[in-house]
């Protein structure tokens, strides 16, 4: 095995030395050059991909409830659209920056390509603490932000989705603001909407479902029976709880789950349906637990599969030597630092990267976009069946590179993504 590409998108967390962490943009560029170094592709294409196509910076004035006007900064970074319209989340967070949007947009380019979706990567957001906005202020901010970026988004241009601090309601406001100004109802301008206005069944569960599917596939590949597999999952939110419940349903033994306050641990197996997810009752895991252990201890439990599904940078050089699982399936974005990634590779611990494992979210977003364009809703069963097909296809493509080149699964995923993007650039050429 070779050392993995680096992988840490978010601000440093935990107790590890901050020099271990890098920005989303540094990470995305390193991933690009690392994958490119293992491929025979035109260096001019790699040079082009180091930069976003466009970055839109806007100011968003809103009237607060007390009548004062506040102005917020908003961004939409559009990285590469060679394979289709830009696609990526919009976050409302005080730490949103220009460079973070660019890095995360690049990341979305790789994620869409590894899933072979006809989209390129984008990311955006507003520098604001959404917890300090009333519902009315959040709606006015969203509508005005939509107007400021209206000319650069659209079903065939750039399709935003929810991210940190935004949700289905936010997407419904964007869809409404865009539709009112364009004078036609345009559900395909955003994904992650409520089903009543063109949202897809199964969208919310999709990232967790893809994590569970990939866990099942990795067990099959390494001749492990799911019925004899133990799993520990950090985080019991949209990703963690959905993955936990599916794996439990499919026969695996989920021995640990956690929330921000600690982890529930039961070596005999947890009844995952009986514990409320973050969405159903925030931070309830520890409340329902008989046996609570710290989150750090969950990460080093001697289980078959470890699924970090809470936040970034939790597997670091401080704890990588202590990870006892055979497989790490990345549910969160960027849970493993690049230093930790190299340590895990040296220790022969298999890491399935986030751009494959949690890509069910953007894949069902693609299904939502298809449904909106065709004005035809799919059943939940169809969504889940098609997600299974897409995950299997992506897995097969990544597995093939993994076997052919004797590299890590992360490198294999980036190579699949970059090969597809480079091929499209070569076919289209550089204009003029
Ligand atoms: P969520 O808010 O639904 O749940 C987060 C869970 O993590 C909660 O159970 C919370 O208690 C727990 N948590 C928070 N801080 C923690 C800490 N310090 N230690 C341990 N647990 C902690 O979030 P989510 O949507 O499930 O997202 C989780 C991760 O997955 C994030 O990295 C996110 O970027 C990524 N992700 C989410 C989606 C999506 O569509 N929801 C898609 C792809 C990737």
18 part of a folded domain = no
Mutating to test ligand 1, I would choose from 237, 294, 364, 391 the residue with most ligand atoms within 8 A of its C-beta, which is: 237
Residue with CA at minimum distance from ligand 1 atom 13: 260
Residues in the chain, how many? 432
Ligand 1: list residues with CB < 6 Å: 207, 234-240, 258-260, 278, 283, 295, 309-312, 331-333, 358, 361
Question: Is 70 exceeded by the pLDDT of residue 9?
Answer: no
Q: Which atom of ligand 1 is nearest to the CA of 206?
A: 40
Residue 120 CA to ligand 1 centre (angstroms): 24
425 part of a folded domain = no
Name the catalytic one among 87, 111, 123, 193.
123
DSSP class per residue in 305-327: EEEE-S-SS-B-TTTGGG---SE
Cβ 348 vs Cβ 321: under 8 Å = no
92 part of a folded domain = yes
Mutating to test ligand 1, I would choose from 100, 278, 363 the residue with most ligand atoms within 8 A of its C-beta, which is: 278
Residue 44 CA to ligand 1 centre (angstroms): 37
Reported as a single tens digit per residue, the pLDDT across 309-347 is 999 899 999 999 999 999 999 999 999 999 999 999 999
The tally of domains found in the chain comes to 2
DSSP class per residue in 396-421: HHHHHHHHHHT--HHHHHHHHHHHHH
28 part of a folded domain = no
The residue from 197, 224, 240 where one domain ends is 197
Cβ 238 vs Cβ 280: under 8 Å = no
CA distance 256 to 265: 5
Confidence of residue 14 (pLDDT cuts 50, 70, 90): very low
Question: Is 70 exceeded by the pLDDT of residue 366?
Answer: yes
The residue from 165, 197, 229 where one domain ends is 197
Residue 365 CA to ligand 1 centre (angstroms): 18
> Can you give the pLDDT at residue 2?
31
Let me know whether 254 and 273 are in one domain: yes
DSSP class per residue in 57-86: EEEEEEE-TTS-EEEEEEEEEEEE-TTSSE
Q: Which helix (H) or strand (E) holds 129?
A: none
Residue with CA at minimum distance from ligand 1 atom 43: 358
Active site residue 131: no
Let me know whether 216 and 251 are in one domain: yes
The residue from 147, 174, 197 where one domain ends is 197
16 part of a folded domain = no
Question: Is 50 exceeded by the pLDDT of residue 3?
Answer: no
Let me know whether 151 and 224 are in one domain: no
CA distance 178 to 153: 9
Reported as a single tens digit per residue, the pLDDT across 74-89 is 999 999 999 999 999 9
The whole-model pTM stands at: 0.94
Confidence of residue 6 (pLDDT cuts 50, 70, 90): very low
213 part of a folded domain = yes
> Can you give the pLDDT at residue 18?
53
Q: Which atom of ligand 1 is nearest to the CA of 279?
A: 3
Confidence of residue 26 (pLDDT cuts 50, 70, 90): confident
Tokens representing residue 116 in the block = 């072979």
364 part of a folded domain = no
Tokens representing residue 239 in the block = 């990703």
Q: What are the C-alpha distances in Å from 181 to residues 57, 151, 196, 284?
A: 20, 11, 20, 42
Give the start-end residues of each E strand in 133-290: 158-162, 230-234, 253-259, 262-265
Question: Is 90 exceeded by the pLDDT of residue 28?
Answer: no
Let me know whether 156 and 215 are in one domain: no
- Determine whether 183 is exposed, middle or buried from the number of CB atoms within 10 Å of its CB (0-12, 13-18, 19+): exposed
Confidence of residue 27 (pLDDT cuts 50, 70, 90): confident
> Domain of 139: which CATH number?
3.40.50.10860
Dihedral-angle region of residue 313 (phi above 0 means left; psi in -120 to 50 means alpha; beta otherwise):
left
CA distance 259 to 282: 9
Question: Is 80 exceeded by the pLDDT of residue 7?
Answer: no
Residue with CA at minimum distance from ligand 1 atom 25: 238
Residue with CA at minimum distance from ligand 1 atom 31: 332
330 part of a folded domain = yes
Let me know whether 184 and 233 are in one domain: no
Residue 61 CA to ligand 1 centre (angstroms): 30
Residue 311 CA to ligand 1 centre (angstroms): 6
Residue 235 CA to ligand 1 centre (angstroms): 6
Q: What are the C-alpha distances in Å from 296 to residues 269, 299, 381?
A: 19, 5, 37
85: containing domain: 51-197
Let me know whether 217 and 353 are in one domain: yes
> Can you give the pLDDT at residue 101?
97
CA distance 359 to 206: 8
Let me know whether 99 and 176 are in one domain: yes
């Amino acid at each position: 095995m070779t050392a993995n590409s680096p992988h840490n998108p978010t601000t440093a967390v935990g107790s590890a030395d901050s020099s271990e962490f890098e920005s989303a943009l540094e990470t995305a560029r390193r991933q690009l050059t690392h994958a490119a170094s293992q491929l025979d592709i035109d260096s001019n294409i790699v040079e082009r991909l180091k930069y976003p196509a466009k970055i839109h910076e806007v100011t968003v004035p809103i009237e607060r409830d007390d009548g004062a006007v506040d102005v917020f900064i908003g961004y939409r970074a559009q990285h590469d659209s060679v394979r289709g319209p830009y696609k990526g989340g919009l976050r409302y967070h005080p730490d949103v920056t220009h460079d973070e949007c660019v890095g995360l947009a690049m990341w979305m380019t790789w994620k869409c390509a590894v899933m072979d979706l006809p989209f390129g990567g984008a990311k955006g957001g507003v520098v604001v603490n959404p917890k300090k906005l009333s519902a009315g202020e959040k709606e006015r901010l969203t509508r005005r932000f939509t107007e400021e970026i209206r000319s650069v988004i659209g079903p065939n241009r750039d399709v935003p989705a929810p991210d940190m601090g935004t949700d289905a309601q936010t997407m419904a406001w964007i869809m409404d603001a865009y539709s009112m100004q364009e004078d036609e109802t345009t559900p395909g301008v955003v994904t992650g909407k409520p089903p009543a206005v063109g949202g897809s069944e199964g969208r919310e569960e999709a990232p967790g479902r893809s994590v569970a599917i990939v866990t099942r596939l990795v067990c099959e590949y390494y001749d492990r029976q799911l019925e004899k597999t133990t799993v520990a999952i950090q985080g019991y939110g949209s990703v963690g709880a959905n993955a936990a419940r599916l794996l439990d349903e499919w026969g695996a033994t989920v021995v640990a789950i956690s929330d921000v306050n600690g982890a529930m641990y039961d070596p005999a197996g947890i009844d995952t349906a009986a514990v409320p997810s973050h969405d159903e009752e925030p931070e309830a895991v520890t409340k329902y637990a008989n046996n609570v252990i710290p989150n750090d201890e969950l990460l080093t439990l001697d289980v078959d599969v470890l699924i970090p599904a809470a936040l970034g940078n939790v597997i670091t050089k401080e704890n990588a030597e202590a990870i006892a699982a055979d497989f790490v399936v990345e549910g969160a974005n960027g849970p493993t630092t690049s230093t930790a990634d190299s340590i895990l590779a040296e220790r022969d611990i298999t890491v399935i990267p986030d751009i494959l494992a949690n890509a069910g979210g953007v894949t069902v977003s693609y299904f939502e976009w298809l449904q909106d364009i065709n004005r035809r809703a799919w059943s939940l069963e169809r969504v889940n069946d098609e997600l299974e097909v897409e995950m299997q296809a992506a897995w097969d493509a990544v597995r093939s590179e993994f076997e052919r080149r004797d590299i890590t699964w992360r490198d294999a995923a980036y190579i699949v993504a970059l090969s597809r993007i480079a091929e499209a650039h070569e076919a289209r050429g550089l204009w003029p």
